[in-house]
Structure 1
Amino acid sequence: MSAKPMNHRQIMEALSGLLLVLFVAMASSTIVSTALPKIIGALDGNQTQYTWVVTASLLTATASTPIWGKLADLYSKKLLVQISIVVFVLGSIIAGFSQTAGQLIAARAFQGLGMGGVQALVQVAIAAMIPPRERGRYNGYLGGVMAVATVGGPLLGGVIVDTAWLGWRWCFFIGAPVAVIALVVLQKTLNLAVIKRDHVKVDYVGATLIALGVSTLLVWVSFVDSSFAWLSWQTYAMVGLGLLILAVAVRVETRVAEPVVPLPIVKQRDTALAIVASLAVGMAMFGGAVFLGQYFQIGRGYSPTEAGLLTIPMMAGVLVSSTVAGRLISKSGRIKPYIVAGTLILVGGFAGLSTLDHDTSLWYVGGAMALVGIGVGMSMQNLVLSVQNTVALRDIGAASSTIAFFRSLGGTIGVSVLGAVLAHRVTDNLTHELAAAGMPAGGDAAASSSLNLSALPETVQHLVHVAYGDATGHIFLISAAIAVVGVIAALLMKPTALRSTVDLIAPADETPPTRTAASVSELAGAAAAKAAPIPAEALPR
Structure 2
Amino acid sequence: MSGLSSSMIMLIAFRAVQGLGSGGLMVGAQAIVGDIVSPRERGRYVGLFGAVFGFASVIGPVLGGLIVTYLSWRWIFYINMPVGGAALLYLWATLHLPRRKVQHRIDYLGAGVLAIAATAIVLITTWGGTQYGWRSRQILGLGVLAVVAIVAFIFIEARAPEPVLPLHVFRNRNFSVASAMSFLLGLAMLGALTFLPLYQQTVQHLSATGSGLMLIPMMVGMTITALIGGQVMTRTGRYKAMPIIGGAIMTVGMYLLMGLGVGTSRLTSGLFFVVLGVGMGFLMQITSVIVQNSVDQRDIGVASSSRSFFQQIGGSIGVSIFGAIFARRLTEAMAARLPGVHLNAANGQFNPATVNQLPAPVRIDVFYAISHAIQGVFFWAAPAAILVFALAWLIREVPLRSTVGPAPGEQAGQAPELVH
TM-score range for the pair, normalised by the shorter chain length: over 0.9
**Where in structure 2 are there 5+ consecutive unaligned residues?**
414-420
Which 4+ runs in 1 deviate beyond 4 A? Answer: 443-448
Q: Could you tell me how far apart the structure 1 residues matched to 2:185 and 2:371 are?
A: 24
Residue among 329, 336, 348 paired with 1:432: 336
Amino acid corresponding to residue 73 of structure 2 in structure 1: W
Per-residue CA deviation, residues 231-261 of structure 1 (Å, 9 max, x unaligned), is 4322221022112111111111111221110
Letter in 2 for 1:212: I
Match of 1:168 among 57, 73, 79: 73
Are 2:23 and 1:116 equivalent residues in the alignment? Answer: yes
Residue of structure 1 in register with 2:38 after alignment: 131
| Structure-1 residue corresponding to 2:416 | none
Which residue number in structure 2 is paired with residue 182 of structure 1?
Answer: 87
SS at match of 2:284: helix
> Within 5 Å, which residues of 2 pair with 1:309-348?
309-348=213-252
- 1:447, distance to aligned residue in structure 2 (A): 7.7
Check the 8 A contact 1:158/1:305 in 2, yes or no.
yes
Contact 1:426 1:468 in 2 (8 A): yes
Deviation at 1:444, TM superposition (A): 8.3
Q: 1:271 deviation in Å?
A: 0.6
Q: 1:143–1:377: 8 Å Cα contact kept in structure 2?
A: yes
Question: What CA distance in whole angstroms lies between the structure 2 residues aligned with 1:140 and 1:407?
Answer: 18
**Bigger shift: 315-324 or 286-295?**
286-295
Task: Report deviation, 1:104.
Answer: 2.3
Report if aligned partners of 1:140, 1:325 keep a CA contact under 8 Å in 2.
yes
| 1:191-340 paired onto structure 2 within 5 Å | 191-198=96-103, 200-340=104-244
Displacement of 1:222: 2.7
Separation (CA, whole Å) in 1 of partners of 2:126 and 2:24: 22
TM-score, structure 2 length as denominator?
A: 0.92
Q: CA deviation at 1:216?
A: 1.8
Distance 1:329 1:434, change over 3 A: same
Q: What are the superposed Cα offsets for residues 11-35 of structure 1, whole Å, 9 maximum, x if unpaired?
A: xxxxxxxxxxxxxxxxxxxxxxxxx
Partner of 1:99: 6
- On the 8 A contact 1:128/1:192 being kept in 2, the answer is no
2:383 is the counterpart of 1:481 = yes
Once residues 148 and 471 of structure 1 are traced to their aligned partners in structure 2, the CA distance between those partners, rounded to angstroms, is 29
Instruction: Tell me whether 1:399 sits opposite 2:306 in the alignment.
Output: no
Contact 1:444/1:460 (8 A) holds in 2:
no
- Secondary structure at the aligned position of 2:404 is classed as coil
Residue of structure 2 aligned with 1:362, choices 266, 272, 280 = 266
Aligned to 2:417: none
Match of 2:284 among 380, 393, 415: 380
Within 5 Å, give how 1:496-511 maps onto structure 2. Answer: 496-505=398-407, 507=409, 510=411
Distance 1:443 1:297, change over 3 A: closer
- The answer as to 2:341 corresponding to 1:441 is yes
Could you tell me which amino acid in structure 2 is paired with residue 320 of structure 1? I
Query: What is the distance in 1 between the residues matched to 2:43 and 2:363?
Result: 48
Cα distance in 1, alignment partners of residues 388 and 116 from structure 2: 28
- Give deviations 1:60-85, integer Å, cap 9, x for gaps: xxxxxxxxxxxxxxxxxxxxxxxxxx
- Matches of 1:374 and 1:133, distance apart in 2: 23
> How far apart, in 2, do the equivalents of 1:418 and 1:444 lie?
17
Larger relative contact order (Cα-Cα within 8 Å, sequence gap ≥ 6): 2
Label 1:483 to 1:358 Cα distance change in 2 as closer, same or farther (>3 A).
same
Alignment pair present for 1:463 and 2:372:
no
Mapped partners of 2:28, 2:349: distance in 1: 40
CA offset at residue 374 of structure 1? 0.8
2:260 alignment partner AA: L
Equivalent pair of 1:393/1:503 in contact (CA under 8 Å): yes
Give the letter for the 2:150 counterpart: L
Deviation at 1:309, TM superposition (A): 1.5
- Aligned partners of 1:459, 1:128: CA distance in 2, in Å? 61
Aligned length: 411
C-alpha displacement of 1:433: 1.3
Moved more, 332-341 or 452-461: 452-461
Per the alignment, in what secondary structure is the counterpart of residue 501 of structure 1? Answer: coil
Distance, in Å, in 2 between the alignment partners of 1:129 and 1:297 is: 45
The verdict on how the C-alpha distance between 1:113 and 1:447 changes in structure 2, with shifts beyond 3 A counting, is: closer
What per-residue deviation string (whole Å, max 9, x for no partner) do you get for residues 44-102 of structure 1? xxxxxxxxxxxxxxxxxxxxxxxxxxxxxxxxxxxxxxxxxxxxxxxxxx112223333
**Per-residue displacement from partner, 1:198-222 (whole Å, max 9, x unpaired)?**
4x42222212111111122222223
The equivalent of 1:32 in structure 2 is none
Residues 446 and 493 (structure 1), Cα distance of their counterparts in 2 relative to 1, 3 Å cut = closer
Residues of 2 paired with 1:501 and 1:119: CA distance?
24
Q: Secondary structure at the match of 1:397?
A: helix
Partner of residue 62, structure 2: 155
Partner SS for 1:126: helix
Taking structure 1 as the reference length, what is the TM-score of the superposition?
Answer: 0.72
Cα distance per residue 1:506-538 (max 9 Å; x no partner): 637x578xxxxxxxxxxxxxxxxxxxxxxxxxx
- Tell me whether 1:141 sits opposite 2:45 in the alignment: no
Instruction: Tell me the SS of whatever aligns to 1:324.
Output: helix
Comparing 455-464 with 333-342, greater Cα deviation is found at 455-464
Q: 1:177–1:229: structure 2 CA closer, same or farther, 3 Å change rule?
A: same
Evaluate the alpha carbon distance shift between residue 176 and residue 511 of structure 1 in structure 2; reply closer, same or farther with a 3 A threshold.
closer
Give the letter for the 1:159 counterpart.
Answer: L
Q: Secondary structure at the match of 1:492?
A: coil
Task: Give distance in 2, aligned partners of 1:447 and 1:161.
Answer: 20
Distance in structure 1 (CA, Å) of the matches to 2:269 and 2:86? 37
Aligned CA distance change for structure 1 residues 147 and 232 (closer, same or farther; 3 Å): farther
Q: Would you say the 8 A contact 1:222–1:416 is kept in 2?
A: yes
Q: Distance in 2 between matches of 1:130 and 1:219?
A: 39
> Which SS does the other structure have where 1:441 is aligned?
coil
